Amino acid sequence: MENFDLSAYQARTAWYQKARFGLFIHWGLYAIPARGEWLRSNERISKEDYRPYFQEFTAANFEPGLWAKKAKAAGFQYVVFTAKHHDGFCLFDSAYTDFKSTKTPFGRDAVAEVLEAFREVGIKVGLYYSIIDWHHDHYPHFGDRHHPMRDNPDFKDHQYDFDTYLDYMHKQVLELVSNYGQLDILWFDFAYDDLNAQAFKGQELVEQVRQLQPQVIINNRLEASGEGFGSLIEAKPGLTSGDFVSPEQIIPPKGIFNIKGERVLWESCITLNDHWGYVSNDHNFKSSKLIIRKLVETVSKGGNLLVNVGPNALGEIPKESALILEEIAAWMKYNQESVIATGPADLDKPEFGYITQKGKALYYHVFDEIIGYLPLSGLKPKQIEKVRLLVDGSELLIEKNWITNNYPDLSFVRLGSKATLVDPVDTVVKVYTK
């Protein structure tokens, strides 16, 4: 594989293939107007009109330790925090700009504090960095597909030197991998149109990052946006291919495979409501039940799930999001082993839910109420050592009677005397195979 060291790839991604559940945190100046992180682009807001949010950024209730504790309880294994989004505002103390959190009334290096808080509770840490920048004078303005001033004629003759921007962008990335300890993930966002990996000098950037932090894993968005997978699915991935594919707001129907039919690492990133950044009037939240079930589905297809929260202007996780995390935590308390460090089972998907696997242990995730007996799809009685209900460890016996005898090649257990599931979100049955 050209520019692609398979053994090094497998070594640095080993932990990630087991992690399965990550927390995305989108936070920045856009939390103040509370209309989403694409506010400047969507509303064509000039740099000058955006400036007042910088001057009132106080984040009075910012306590990353609370974020970390909530994340730990909910079973998240890693976090990805926005060091810089498309608006160019930096939540770290960059030496190359004054458009940063340490120059606001807040006055603190949020990246440093978030990384410290999450490391303290044992959660691996990653940083999101936007390779596009609507604040920088030398990033394309007029005619660009996304820039806030893309159709403002006053910027038609705006002079910019893209190499000057690239020097700035590369230096900031190197700051992040030099000044904040070991990072586990670098989450870039995003290549589009002619602004692809080559235009961003992506190979040079990755080479420099790998020299400083050879163990960090990188997503595929130096080569792609949420649309497209990049060269990671090709026979010969390049150096800028990244380590995993990052579909957005969708769970791929069958997972993701390369052109040779081999599984490719992937991570689906999803929002809890309809936005990434905080939007005060967006109350269209997904239920904890849906998030748990989509996590199970994702793992059964060989992927990771990256779930986003958008803290408000005060630096608080919104109450609706906090409640969802608490409900996920309640399920994870008893069922975490059925998703973390597990993967797809080499069995057909059952009608009632999904199956995940870790070694010889199979986890049957039951979403639908059962009439009579639960079929342990794909297993004959002689293949089973024992069966337990994961939530309390209670024994489930293989049923052999006049009903089940009609299906000698299948195994059945009884969940209870009623059709109602022990856990209506997801009742997990652990099967120990021989």
Contact 389, 396 (CB under 8 A): yes
**Token pair for residue 231?**
């060269």
Contact 66, 75 (CB under 8 A): no
How many secondary structure helices (H) and strands (E) does the chain include?
Answer: 9, 14
33 inside domain: yes
In this structure, the answer to whether residues 300 and 384 fall within a common structural domain is no
CATH code for the domain in which residue 394 is found: 2.60.40.1180
User: Between the CA of residue 57 and those of 61, 99, 368, what are the distances in Å?
Assistant: 12, 12, 47
The pLDDT assigned to 187 comes to 98
352 inside domain: yes
Q: Is the pTM of this model over 0.85?
A: yes
Residue with tokens 């630096």: 315
Q: Which of 340, 374, 394 corresponds to the end of one domain? A: 340
- The number of folded domains in the chain is 2
In this structure, the answer to whether residues 232 and 157 fall within a common structural domain is yes
Residue with tokens 């052109």: 259
Contact 173, 111 (CB under 8 A): no
In this structure, the answer to whether residues 429 and 356 fall within a common structural domain is yes
d(Cα 370, Cα 322) in Å, to the nearest integer?
32
221 inside domain: yes
The pLDDT assigned to 1 comes to 39
Distance of CA 212 to the CA centre of its chain: 24
Contact 25, 67 (CB under 8 A): yes
In this structure, the answer to whether residues 213 and 290 fall within a common structural domain is yes
204 inside domain: yes
Q: Which of 300, 324, 340 corresponds to the end of one domain? A: 340
In this structure, the answer to whether residues 320 and 377 fall within a common structural domain is no
53 inside domain: yes
Burial 199-238 (b: 16+ CB within 10 A, else e): ebbbeebbebbbeebeebbbbbbbbbeeeebbbbbeeebb
**Token pair for residue 247?**
């579909």
254 inside domain: yes
In this structure, the answer to whether residues 319 and 350 fall within a common structural domain is no
CATH code for the domain in which residue 182 is found: 3.20.20.80
The pLDDT assigned to 416 comes to 79
The full length of the chain comes to 434
Residue with tokens 């978030």: 114
- Give the domain range for residue 386: 345-433
In this structure, the answer to whether residues 289 and 399 fall within a common structural domain is no
d(Cα 72, Cα 121) in Å, to the nearest integer?
7
Nearest to 206 by CA among 14, 25, 9, 10: 9
What is the rounded end-to-end Cα distance, in angstroms, of the chain? 38
**Token pair for residue 292?**
């748990």
The pLDDT assigned to 10 comes to 93
The pLDDT assigned to 235 comes to 77
- Beta bridge partners, 355, equal 364
Residues in contact with 204: Cβ distance below 8 Å, sequence separation at least 6, in sequence order: 170
The pLDDT assigned to 3 comes to 61
d(Cα 100, Cα 108) in Å, to the nearest integer?
9
1 inside domain: no
φ and ψ of 412, to 5 deg: -130, 145
- Beta bridge partners, 270, equal 307
* Tens of each residue's pLDDT in the chain, 434 residues: 346 788 899 999 999 999 999 999 999 999 999 999 999 999 999 999 999 999 999 999 999 999 999 999 999 999 999 999 999 999 999 999 999 999 999 999 999 999 999 999 999 999 999 999 999 999 999 999 999 999 999 999 999 999 999 999 999 999 999 999 999 999 999 999 999 999 999 999 999 999 999 999 999 999 999 999 999 999 788 889 999 999 999 999 999 999 999 999 999 999 999 999 999 999 999 999 999 999 999 999 999 999 999 999 999 999 999 999 999 999 999 999 999 999 999 999 999 999 999 999 999 999 999 999 999 999 999 999 999 999 999 999 999 999 999 999 999 999 877 767 899 999 999 999 99
